[in-house]
């Protein structure tokens, strides 16, 4: 059960990375904007909401509500990565890097072909 | 979409949808996030793209709604997993799934689907037909521009008993028009149409014509299809008359020729130049072929023959306009007291004026239709209940697998709604067939509607009615079918025992149908009896062996013949010589067909005091011999004579009722009656009373003792008369002879309506007969549906009780005993239905009370007849299942157990 809970989906992965890129903490809109800027694709806001909540349930995110005035016109829920999330991201990066090792040239060529 | 402050707002609909779907805190958070992103996007991509994006996000939310619920209501998570097989995906998906399931099921039971479709299509079709006609008034689809600003003005007399409306005279209209500020435009239109003879072409023909002021069509917002409007100066040109003709006349008589403008038609000897053609389908108040300009010079102020038609200014209310015209009425009364005493202009909105009669006329069909739809719903609900009983095991299984009650109800409701869709389609066809009947019943011509109305709003009604019917018919079965306790029904095979209350519910529905049928049967029975009485009523004159012909001559003929015998005297004399003719006479208006105006009069020896208006009576011009022809015996005095001519003193014959009013307790013969007229040059015309004739029904077959003043036709030279001929000869030969005689006397004469006199009376009852048929048809359908429902209920009852019947047969119950058992149950249902129906039948008759004639609302014969008919039909519906019950073989049945 614990192992299953710790498994990360692709979208969850992306959401965690976006929060990490934004600095220490982000709220939903920032995640959406960051994700769209990075991927160049439209993101379903509802999907982000559900994922943020799920990541919180899995113990990868902590949230705190910032009352109005401090962060803008209305209360916002800011999410921050937990140490477990940092850990799982680091692990995941390691796995991917080892899988990608030596594949750069091949990938580069495939990328160029698809663009042409 | 930009709000007043210039800030961009997301689409309102999408936002409302979102708010409807999420109420919890997380939803609010989501909405605020969307707003922020929306602002960002509209600044970056433009408002249009941002709005599309917003919609996508809302749909994205709808798709993920279940996940949202899981986040916000963690408790629901486990149940969602359990019922995942049934509740996967969004609501929309579930509905599609339901629909697919229904269609698959319907394919396997086509007879059931067809039965429901036919039953409901009758109800839906009839309702749609009534709605189509009613909606013309309700949705202000009157075919004039902005009809809600149009008003009709008529004269009312303050202090007069009841509210009787009268027209307005042209001089008064002119004063209202010049003094009022409430109207954008004020026109006047004659309060009726005339039939005139048209000459000047190759043949003589007749046309209906009405008068209007120059601005009538402009006020209505209707432009001529060809040519132009009337011009203001044409109201003053007595020597150069102009006319605008109807589209129908243009196409029918002038072949749709564009060159029609400038052509001359001679109407009653006066040439009129055609200046325009009205658009197709135009009619206003009456269906006139020719519209002429009301010429103003010399019009009398007390000749109240026009209605005022006004278009209110946009900023003026009806109340304001009314108070203004009342002030003008008071001023007119002060200025012209002899013509305007106690008279006030009363404004009514055109919609109410036109629609009032139609709505009243349609009330009865509407109620009958609603009853029929209710019966159809009850019928289908009964069918669905039986079906639900058979599907108990399936429902139980679904419930056991985790389907919520709401899910089961939803599926069954979806089924009943889907079941009604074919009925809706068929209903449109039924509506199309029924509407012409309704158009006959209600005076829709007034509204300018002459064809069946099946358009956008009507189709929308069909959709709404279909959905509502589906929900209404499916609600009870769905709620009952979904209330299942899992255990008792699982594992039960083909024959599921009926649950307590299920059969009672169905019996109740059957009883309801019987009750409604009783109400409809009593209503239509009362009308049918009234019709019977009306057909046999003593009219006060005889139509046996009497034939009629309408003859109209141009007014110039009388001038040309000024020295000779009047035209009609000559024609009648020759007709009397035709072999087989026993007598012949002429009358200015046929009795019953059109009552004509009511004129004030007084006895010569009794001058009117202040405030008195004299006696009022109908006026008829008749020729000598008319009374004998239609068999109206003279009570006193004599008939008109050939020697009563224009140069001799005026003579009159009174009806008994008028004689009794003018000279109560005295013999009026030899005395005089004074006719009070609106003509300024002859305000009072005296006539010597030469006879008193038996009363006759003149206005309508319903009213006896109409007061009538008969004047001699030979003293007036009328241009149109109805000729009545009593003859025992061959009618074809007679009609040919009449035509020859009339043509010989005047080649330009027009002969219309050659027919037996009985047809005129029949025609006057035609509307009533149609109403009786309509109600009768509905009562018949209702009875049939109730009988089918009763048959279904009893058949099902027998199937359910087979076991009990088998046991009874096994222990020696006889055939009559078994039949009695089944019939008793049927009788119980019928008795309840009859009791409820009879209780409501009497209050229900208030709707038909106005139509009744010599029939009391609590007519025992009708009530007993309705009960008998229903009992017989019900007995027939119960006997077949009862007979089937006697064929139950206990051996087979008990072996099965």
3-state SS of B33-85 is HHHHHHHHHHHHHCHHHHHHHHHHHHHHHHHCHHHHHHHHCCCHHHHHHHCHH
Q: Do B60 and A47 touch (CB under 8 A)?
A: yes
User: Burial level of B605, CB count in 10 A (0-12/13-18/19+)?
Assistant: exposed
Q: Report the percentage of chain B scoring pLDDT > 90.
A: 12
Average pLDDT for residues B354-368, to the nearest whole number? 70
Which has more pLDDT, B573 or B282?
Answer: B573
Which has more pLDDT, B365 or B449?
Answer: B365
Lowest mean pLDDT across B109-118, B418-427, B432-441, B643-652: B432-441
Which one of A45, A75, A78 makes the best mutation probe of the B interface by having the most chain B beta carbons within 10 Å? A45
Q: Do A45 and B67 touch (CB under 8 A)?
A: no
Q: Given this model, what pLDDT does residue B441 score?
A: 64
Q: Given this model, what pLDDT does residue A18 score?
A: 92
Domain boundaries, chain B: 12-82, 89-141+359-499, 161-194+210-341, 501-535+764-897, 554-748
Q: Is B26 on the interface with A (CB under 8 A)?
A: yes
A93 in the Ramachandran plot: left (φ > 0), alpha (ψ -120 to 50) or beta? alpha
Q: Is B138 on the interface with A (CB under 8 A)?
A: no
Which one of B24, B29, B52 makes the best mutation probe of the A interface by having the most chain A beta carbons within 10 Å? B29
Chain A residue at shortest CA distance from B64 = A46
Q: Is A7 on the interface with B (CB under 8 A)?
A: no
Contacts of B351 (CB under 8 A, 6+ apart): B137, B140, B142, B147, B148, B150
Nearest to B34 among A27, A45, A54 (CB): A45
Q: Is A70 on the interface with B (CB under 8 A)?
A: no
Average pLDDT for residues B553-565, to the nearest whole number? 74
Lowest mean pLDDT across B16-20, B840-844, B866-870: B16-20
Q: What CATH number corresponds to the domain at position A97?
A: 1.10.10.10
B171 confidence band (pLDDT: 50, 70, 90): confident
Q: Given this model, what pLDDT does residue B86 score?
A: 43
- Which structural domain range is residue A8 located in? 2-115
Nearest to A32 among B32, B37, B67 (CB): B37
How far apart are alpha carbons B103 and B86 in whole angstroms?
18
Which has more pLDDT, B25 or B586?
Answer: B586
Nearest to B57 among A28, A46, A53 (CB): A46
Question: If DSSP codes are grouped into helix, strand and coil, which group holds residue B814?
Answer: coil
Q: How many domains does chain A have?
A: 1
Question: CA dist B861 to A44, B529, B783, B848, B856, Å?
Answer: 75, 9, 19, 17, 10
Q: Do B37 and A45 touch (CB under 8 A)?
A: yes
Average pLDDT for residues B867-895, to the nearest whole number? 81
Is the pLDDT confidence value at B652 over 90? yes
Nearest to A29 among B37, B67, B68 (CB): B37
Question: If DSSP codes are grouped into helix, strand and coil, which group holds residue B554?
Answer: coil
**B residues 45-64 lying closer than 8 A (beta carbon) to A:** 53, 56-57, 60-61, 63-64
Nearest to B71 among A27, A29, A50 (CB): A50
Q: Do A44 and B71 touch (CB under 8 A)?
A: no
Winning range, highest mean pLDDT, from A15-19, B347-351, B434-438? A15-19
Structure tokens given for B548: 């009629």
Query: What is the least distance, in Å, from the CA of B71 to any CA of chain A?
Result: 7
How far apart are alpha carbons B228 and B248 in whole angstroms?
17
Nearest to A50 among B40, B53, B68 (CB): B68
Q: Given this model, what pLDDT does residue B235 score?
A: 81
Q: Given this model, what pLDDT does residue B673 score?
A: 92
Average pLDDT for residues B599-625, to the nearest whole number? 83
Question: If DSSP codes are grouped into helix, strand and coil, which group holds residue B756?
Answer: strand
Query: What is the least distance, in Å, from the CA of A111 to any CA of chain B?
Result: 29
Q: Is A56 on the interface with B (CB under 8 A)?
A: no
Number of H helices, E strands in chain A: 6, 3
How far apart are alpha carbons B409 and B384 in whole angstroms?
13
Q: Do B57 and A49 touch (CB under 8 A)?
A: no
Q: Do A50 and B64 touch (CB under 8 A)?
A: yes
Q: Taking the CA atoms of A7, A13, A15 and A19 in sequence, report the sign of the dihedral they define.
A: positive
End-to-end CA distance of chain A: 46
Q: Is B37 on the interface with A (CB under 8 A)?
A: yes
Which has more pLDDT, B2 or B392?
Answer: B392
Q: Is A77 on the interface with B (CB under 8 A)?
A: yes
B19 confidence band (pLDDT: 50, 70, 90): confident
Question: If DSSP codes are grouped into helix, strand and coil, which group holds residue A42?
Answer: coil
B655 confidence band (pLDDT: 50, 70, 90): very high
The H or E element containing residue B13 is: helix B12-21
Is the pLDDT confidence value at B741 over 60? yes
How far apart are alpha carbons B508 and B385 in whole angstroms?
12
Q: Given this model, what pLDDT does residue B2 score?
A: 44
Q: Do B63 and A74 touch (CB under 8 A)?
A: no
Average pLDDT for residues B321-332, to the nearest whole number? 90
Query: What is the least distance, in Å, from the CA of B15 to any CA of chain A?
Result: 14
B457 confidence band (pLDDT: 50, 70, 90): confident
Q: Do A33 and B40 touch (CB under 8 A)?
A: yes
Which one of B14, B24, B34, B36 makes the best mutation probe of the A interface by having the most chain A beta carbons within 10 Å? B36
CB B95 within 8 A of CB A82: no
Nearest to A50 among B37, B56, B67 (CB): B67
B623 confidence band (pLDDT: 50, 70, 90): very high
Q: Is B32 on the interface with A (CB under 8 A)?
A: yes
Winning range, highest mean pLDDT, from B12-21, B255-264, B573-582, B886-895? B573-582
CB B453 within 8 A of CB B135: yes
Beta strand pairing status for B343-349 and B598-603? Answer: unpaired
- Which of these, B664, B721, B722, lies nearest to B692 by C-alpha position? B664
The count of CB pairs under 8 A between chains A and B is 48
Q: Given this model, what pLDDT does residue A114 score?
A: 83
Q: Given this model, what pLDDT does residue B595 score?
A: 67
Q: Is the pTM of this model over 0.80?
A: no
Query: Inter-axis angle of helices A83-100 and A10-21, to 10 degrees?
Result: 110
B385 confidence band (pLDDT: 50, 70, 90): confident
Residue B134: Cβ within 10 Å count? 21
Mean of pLDDT over chain B: 80
Q: Given this model, what pLDDT does residue B94 score?
A: 72
Is the pLDDT confidence value at B404 over 70? yes
Q: Do A45 and B71 touch (CB under 8 A)?
A: no
Nearest to B71 among A28, A32, A53 (CB): A53
DSSP per-residue letters across B590-615:
-TTT----EEEEEETTSPPPTT---E
Query: What is the least distance, in Å, from the CA of A114 to any CA of chain B?
Result: 28
CB B655 within 8 A of CB B679: no
B338 confidence band (pLDDT: 50, 70, 90): confident
DSSP per-residue letters across B454-523:
-SHHHHHHHHHHHHHHHHHHHHHHHHHHH---HHHHTT--S-PPPPTTHHHHHHHHHHHHHHHHHHHHHH
Which has more pLDDT, B772 or B625?
Answer: B625
Number of H helices, E strands in chain B: 30, 22
Q: Given this model, what pLDDT does residue B501 score?
A: 56
Q: Is this complex's ipTM strictly greater than 0.90?
A: no
Question: If DSSP codes are grouped into helix, strand and coil, which group holds residue A27?
Answer: strand
How far apart are alpha carbons A38 and A48 in whole angstroms?
15
Average pLDDT for residues B636-644, to the nearest whole number? 90
How far apart are alpha carbons B476 and B42 in whole angstroms?
50
Average pLDDT for residues A54-71, to the nearest whole number? 82
Which has more pLDDT, B69 or A4?
Answer: B69
Q: Do A44 and B36 touch (CB under 8 A)?
A: no
Lowest mean pLDDT across B208-222, B332-346, B351-365: B351-365
Lowest mean pLDDT across B24-28, B165-169, B265-269, B690-694: B24-28
B583 confidence band (pLDDT: 50, 70, 90): very high
A32 confidence band (pLDDT: 50, 70, 90): very high
CB B228 within 8 A of CB B244: no
Which has more pLDDT, B444 or B184?
Answer: B184
Is the pLDDT confidence value at A80 over 90? yes
Q: Do B30 and A49 touch (CB under 8 A)?
A: yes
Per-residue pLDDT tens over the stretch B783-809: 887 888 788 778 877 877 777 888 888
Average pLDDT for residues B744-766, to the nearest whole number? 78
């Amino acid at each position: 059960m614990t192992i299953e809970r710790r498994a990360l989906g692709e979208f969850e992965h992306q959401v965690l990375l976006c929060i990490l890129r934004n600095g220490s903490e982000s709220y939903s809109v920032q995640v959406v904007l960051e994700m769209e800027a990075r991927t160049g694709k439209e993101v379903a806001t509802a999907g982000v909401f559900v994922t943020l909540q799920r990541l919180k349930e899995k113990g990868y995110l902590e949230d705190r509500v910032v009352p109005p005035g401090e962060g803008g016109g209305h209360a916002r829920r800011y999410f921050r990565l937990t140490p477990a999330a940092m850990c799982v991201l680091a692990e995941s990066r390691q796995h991917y890097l080892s899988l990608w090792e030596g594949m750069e040239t091949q990938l580069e060529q495939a990328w160029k072909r698809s663009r042409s | 979409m930009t709000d007043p402050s210039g800030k961009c707002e997301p689409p309102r609909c999408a936002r409302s949808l979102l708010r409807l779907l999420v109420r919890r805190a997380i939803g609010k958070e989501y909405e605020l996030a969307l707003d922020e992103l929306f602002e960002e996007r509209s600044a970056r991509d433009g408002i249009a793209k941002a709005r599309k994006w917003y919609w996508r996000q809302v749909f994205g939310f709808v798709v993920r709604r279940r996940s949202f619920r899981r986040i916000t209501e963690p408790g629901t998570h486990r149940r969602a997993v359990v019922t995942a097989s049934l509740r996967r995906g969004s609501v929309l998906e579930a509905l599609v799934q339901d629909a697919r399931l229904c269609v698959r099921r319907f394919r396997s039971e086509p007879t059931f689907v067809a039965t429901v479709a036919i039953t409901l299509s009758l109800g839906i079709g009839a309702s749609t037909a009534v709605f189509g006609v009613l909606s013309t008034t309700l949705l202000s689809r009157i075919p004039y521009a902005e009809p809600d600003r149009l008003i009709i003005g008529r004269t009312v007399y303050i202090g007069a008993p009841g509210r009787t409306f009268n027209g307005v005279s042209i001089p008064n209209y002119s004063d209202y028009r010049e003094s009022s500020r409430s109207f954008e435009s004020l026109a006047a239109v004659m309060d009726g149409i005339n039939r005139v003879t048209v000459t000047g072409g190759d043949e003589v023909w007749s046309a209906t014509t009405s008068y209007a002021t120059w601005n009538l069509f402009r006020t209505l917002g209707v432009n001529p299809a060809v040519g132009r409007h009337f011009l203001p100066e044409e109201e003053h040109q007595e020597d150069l008359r102009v006319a605008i003709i109807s589209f129908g006349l243009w196409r029918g008589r002038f072949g749709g020729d564009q060159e029609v403008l400038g052509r001359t038609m001679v109407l009653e000897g006066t040439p009129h130049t055609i200046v325009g053609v009205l658009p197709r389908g135009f009619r206003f108040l009456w269906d006139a072929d020719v519209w002429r300009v009301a010429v103003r010079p010399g019009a009398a102020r007390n000749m109240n023959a026009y209605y005022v038609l006004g278009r209110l200014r946009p900023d003026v209310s009806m109340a304001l306009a009314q108070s203004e015209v009342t002030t003008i009425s008071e001023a007119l009364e002060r200025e012209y007291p002899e013509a305007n005493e106690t008279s006030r202009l009363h404004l009514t909105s055109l919609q109410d004026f036109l629609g009032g009669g139609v709505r009243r006329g349609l009330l009865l069909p509407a109620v009958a239709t609603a009853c029929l739809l209710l019966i159809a719903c009850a019928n289908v609900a009964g069918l669905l209940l039986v079906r639900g009983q058979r599907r108990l095991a399936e429902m139980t299984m679904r419930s056991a697998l985790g389907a919520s009650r709401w899910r089961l109800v939803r599926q069954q409701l979806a089924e009943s709604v889907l079941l009604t869709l074919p009925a809706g389609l068929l209903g449109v066809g039924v509506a199309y067939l029924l509407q012409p009947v309704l158009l006959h019943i209600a005076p829709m011509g007034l509204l300018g509607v002459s064809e069946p109305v099946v358009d956008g709003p009507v189709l929308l009604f069909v959709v709404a009615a279909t959905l509502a019917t589906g929900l209404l018919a499916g609600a009870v079965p769905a709620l009952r079918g979904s209330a299942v306790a899992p255990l008792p029904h699982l594992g039960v095979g083909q024959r599921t025992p009926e649950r307590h209350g299920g059969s009672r519910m169905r019996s109740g529905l059957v009883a309801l149908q019987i009750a409604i049928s009783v109400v409809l049967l009593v209503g239509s029975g009362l009308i049918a009896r009234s019709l019977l009485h009306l057909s046999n009523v003593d009219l006060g004159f005889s139509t046996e062996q009497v034939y009629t012909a309408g003859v109209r001559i141009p007014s110039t003929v009388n001038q040309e013949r000024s020295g000779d015998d009047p035209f009609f005297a000559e024609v009648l004399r020759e007709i009397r010589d035709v072999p087989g003719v026993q007598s012949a006479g002429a009358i200015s208006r046929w009795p019953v067909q059109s009552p004509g105006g009511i004129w004030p009069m007084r006895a010569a020896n009794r001058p009117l005091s202040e405030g008195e208006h004299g006696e009022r009576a109908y006026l008829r011009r008749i020729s000598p011999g008319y009374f004998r022809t239609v068999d109206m015996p003279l009570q006193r005095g004599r008939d008109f004579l050939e020697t009563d001519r224009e140069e001799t003193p005026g003579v009159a014959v009174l009806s008994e009722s008028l004689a009794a009013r003018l000279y109560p307790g005295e013999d009026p013969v030899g005395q005089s009656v004074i006719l009070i007229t609106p003509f300024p040059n002859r305000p009072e015309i005296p006539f010597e009373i030469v006879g008193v004739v038996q009363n006759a029904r003149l206005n309508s077959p319903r009213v006896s003792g109409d007061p009538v003043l008969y004047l001699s036709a030979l003293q007036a030279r009328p241009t149109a008369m109805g000729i009545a001929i009593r003859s025992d000869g061959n009618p074809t030969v007679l009609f040919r002879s009449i035509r020859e005689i009339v043509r010989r006397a005047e080649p330009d004469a027009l002969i219309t309506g050659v027919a037996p006199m009985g047809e005129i009376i029949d025609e006057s009852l035609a509307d009533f007969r149609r109403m009786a048929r309509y109600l009768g048809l509905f009562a018949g359908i209702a009875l049939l549906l109730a009988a089918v429902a009763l048959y279904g209920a009893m058949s099902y009852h027998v199937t359910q009780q087979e076991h009990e019947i088998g046991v009874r047969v096994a222990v020696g119950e006889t055939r009559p005993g078994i039949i009695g058992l089944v019939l008793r149950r049927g009788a119980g249902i019928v008795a309840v239905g009859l009791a409820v129906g009879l209780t409501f039948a009497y209050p229900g008759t208030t709707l038909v009370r106005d139509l009744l004639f010599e029939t009391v609302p609590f007519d025992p014969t009708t009530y007993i007849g309705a009960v008998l008919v229903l009992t017989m039909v019900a007995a027939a519906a119960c006997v077949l299942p009862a007979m089937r019950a006697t064929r139950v073989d206990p051996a087979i049945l008990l072996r099965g157990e």
